Structure 1
Amino acid sequence: MSSALLRPALVLGLMSCIGPFAIDMYLPALPGIAADLGASVQQMQGTITSYFLAFGLAQLVYGPWADQSGRKRPIYVGAVIFLIGTVVCAFAQTPGQLILGRAIQGFGGAAVMVVPRAIIRDMHTGPDATRMMAAIMLVISVSPMLAPLAGSGVMALTSWRGIFWMLAAATFVSLAMTRFLLPETLPPEARQPVNLSVLLSSARRLLTDRGFLALTFLGGFGMASFFVFIASASFVYSEAFGLSPTGFSLAFAVNAIGFFASSQMAAGLGMRFGARRVVAVATTGFMVSALVLFGLGLVGLAGLYVTVGGLFIANAFLGLVIPTTMVMALDEHGDIAGLASSLGGTLQMLAGGIMVALTGPFFDGTVVPMLAAIALCGVLAFTLSRLVPRHQAAAVPVA
């Protein structure tokens, strides 16, 4: 990757880590938090669902705002809101207070997800945008690999509350990077004042675009499989498989490596074979591997190593899907990239949050309900991949 792509990708990737760290870093602590606050498993899953739902809805605010005011101001405000939510979580005494703090975190954290995607669209399209998106995901990959281990380390030294104080410190670092290392990529002459009629017209344009909706929800159900895993894995791995917080963190990291390693190949494969073909093959692989793993769970063969290995394979297929579909969904809507990014992100996060909420009541502490929900996400993603119009392949052309 050229230096022109590497530096902004590094800055945006580090900035975007704040949101994933807020999810992954406290996962090893979930059973301990539940015991400390007297919370049920479903209430602890609610701390994740509330984050995702607030995160998704807030994107509808940050996207149009970023189109009107430029890209940096929404990041500043979002980071401050995230900081407030983090402090609420650190002082929480009841499950309800923790859920509230997580929702505030999600509302602020949305800014550092939706705005960087619009920044990428400001700077690049096509293969360069896919390379940059994949590079950002490579930087973000430190989150599922290191954040749970960092959370386990903090718990060994202090308590689960210390995790949130570390997140507060990381937020200050994000603010400094935005101030000193991130240029403004949307010049004043390209900014669009928020106009309700224009906003509704643009939203109607996106919501009636079959390609945009298919690609958005395709990626959304792929991400939903992660959300289900995140909401359930700490309890499955610690209670059903008997892992310690550190053991869970290592298993969680292995599950994530497949995704982020394969994501680095997405641009090259898209240029060689065409993005639509890559997405179609990869979603098929994701569905098949998820269904096989679910079948093994039904007959009692999904032990620890089978589960970790099966999810590694399934996530490797997803690593080819998500960065490519993100770029393809935005590529034809450069004039409203902020709105397209925010609306697409909202739909994806709502899909993931709703999936967690719907499957939560069926969770019984075993691996089977988690694998069933992931398999359902695979089937839905496969179905949507067949609805992507053929002309969308031009988003990442064959070399």
Structure 2
Amino acid sequence: MTPQFLRVAVVLGLLSAIGPFAIDMYLPALPTIGADLNAGTAAVQMSLLVFFLAMGLAQIVVGPISDMIGRKAPLYIGLVLFAIGGLGAALAPNIEWLIFFRVIQGLGASAGMVVPRAIVRDLHTGTEAARLMSLLMLVFSVSPILAPLTGSLVIEGFGWRAVFWVVTAAAVLAIVLLSTSLKETRPVEHRAESSVGSALSGYRFLLGDRNFLGLTFIGGFGIASFFVYLANSSFILIDHYGLSPSVYSVFFSINAVAFIGMSQLTGLLTERFGLHRVVRVAVVGYATMMVILLAVFSAGVDRLDVLAVLLFIGYGFLGLVIPTTSVLAMEEHGEIAGTASALMGTLHFATGAVAMAVAGLFFDGTPLPMVFGITISAVVAFALAQVTLGRRRETAVGAPAE
């Protein structure tokens, strides 16, 4: 593994982490924001939901633009928008203005979600792509480990508004790294082949590709299960179980450790067993853990230690699902990598946002509605994997024929 390979992984991971950092640092503040701005739980959750929606839907535009004008320019524009949204959120006088600036922030964050995946496809395919994607996710996943704890310390010391000053500073740092440490990976001659018409044709083609859609939604429902947890965990763990914001941050980080640890085995496992087989086994493991969790809580058990253990194991399996399905979905679409990454990201976030909104309708302050939403998402991902990968393919990517 060369220093160049590691440097690219670190820079892409940091660019990808900007958006999630603005989510994860913000989570411990949700109850405080509601009290400070005289807003109910639904309104405070809306400030999280609109960020997800903006970040997801904007990818559909950013991806083709990165095919047309190169990868770096959309990243610069996105980071500037993100910083403007962060400044506005820090100064928001009420929940309505906070929601508005969170939309701006989400639009900017979309570039950091879609373009790095396209850059991975520009540079590598197969096992090497899976290895780079897993390293990118290692850096990316530092966010849910450090961000909630950092956020809780910032909130306790300086108030919730300071969170947005910090993420704005992170965007400025990302602009510096982008300008000094990452080269353009989309050659000019390839850009000439891309246009609005080709993007629309690409979307039509991808929407008719069952393999692409199946793999995208396997990852999408995996991510949706985590979005449900994001939206509800602070209220449940802080209000229901009585954890302090700092302890909540540690609890939240434990699941990220499981996700990171397993995702780093992606390269090794896919080289040995093939991407398809890894996806199938990981989805089975994840769905099984979540079904057990639902059965336990439906039986009347309401224990934080049980929730922690089963989520830890489940999110470990999920750490194998996300990078492998992303690589497989984009493997055959190198010429329209930005467009493919955009559609995949939009579908991921749209799926997650819908799951989050539906779970929010049934929120009652207890863990059961959250657990139910997580489990349904995991089971749907499992079912899609059986349909999409049920028949062995002659040429498994990254491994001999399965």
The 8 Å contact of residues 76 and 175 in structure 2, kept in 1 or not, is answered as yes
Number of residue pairs aligned between Structure 1 and Structure 2: 399
Alignment check: 8 A CA contact 1:51 1:106 kept: yes
Cα displacement (A) at 1:101? 1.3
Deviation, 1:392, is 8.4
Distance 1:147 1:44 in 2: 19
8 A contact 2:68–2:195 mirrored in 1: no
Q: 2:84: which partner in 1?
A: 84
Alpha carbons of 1:342 and 1:112: their partners in 2 closer, same or farther (altered >3 Å)?
same
Unaligned runs of 5+ in 2: none
Q: Which residue of 2 aligns with 1:305?
A: 305
Question: What letter is aligned with 1:106?
Answer: G
Q: Give the match's secondary structure for 1:328.
A: helix
Partner of 2:21: 21
Q: 1:144 to 1:224 in 2, by over 3 A?
A: same
- Does the CA-based 8 Å contact 2:89-2:164 persist in structure 1? yes
Aligned-residue offset at 1:393: 6.1
Which residue matches 1:65? Answer: 65
Could you tell me how far 1:88 is from its partner in structure 2? Answer: 1.5
User: Which residue identity is paired with 1:382?
Assistant: F
Structure 2 Cα separation of the partners of residues 14 and 34 of structure 1 = 30
Shift in Å, 1:395? 2.4
TM-score by length of 2: 0.97
1:162 aligned onto 2:144: no
User: What amino acid is the match of 1:73?
Assistant: A
Distance 1:68 1:392, change over 3 A: farther
Task: Note if contact 1:37-1:95 (Cα within 8 Å) is conserved in structure 2.
Answer: yes
Q: Measure how far apart 1:208 and its partner are.
A: 0.6
Equivalent residues in 2 for 1:4-153 (5 A)?
A: 4-153=4-153
Query: What is the deviation of 1:199?
Result: 2.1
| % identical equivalent positions | 49
Structure 1: give runs of 5+ residues left out of the alignment: none
* 149-158 vs 193-202, which moves further: 193-202
The 8 Å contact of residues 276 and 392 in structure 1, kept in 2 or not, is answered as no
Q: State which of 396, 399, 402 in structure 2 corresponds to 1:397.
A: 399
**Runs of 4+ with >6 A deviation:** none
Q: Tell me how far 1:200 sits from its aligned partner.
A: 2.1
When the two structures are superposed, what TM-score results if normalisation uses the length of structure 1?
Answer: 0.97
CA deviation string 1:318-364 (max 9, x = no partner): 01110000000001000100000001100110000011111111001
1:233 corresponds to: 233
Q: Which amino acid aligns with 2:356?
A: V
Q: Deviation string for 1:86-127 (max 9, x for gaps)?
A: 112111122221111111111100101111111111111111
**How far has the Cα of 1:394 moved from its partner?**
2.3
Deviation at 1:49, TM superposition (A): 1.1
CA distance in 2, matches of 1:194, 1:328: 23
- Structure 1 SS opposite 2:30: helix
Partner of 2:326 in structure 1?
Answer: 326
- Rounded Cα–Cα distance in structure 1 between residues aligned with 2:11 and 2:272: 28
Q: Is the CA contact 1:126–1:331 (under 8 Å) kept in the aligned structure 2?
A: yes
Q: CA deviation at 1:156?
A: 1.9
In structure 2, how many angstroms separate the alpha carbons of the residues matched to 1:249 and 1:228?
A: 17
Which amino acid is the alignment partner of residue 20 of structure 1? P
Query: What secondary structure does 1:254 align onto?
Result: helix
Q: Deviation of residue 194 (structure 1)?
A: 4.9
- 1:289 is matched with 289
Please say if 1:222 is aligned against 2:236.
Answer: no
Kept after mapping to 1: 8 A contact 2:280/2:385 = yes
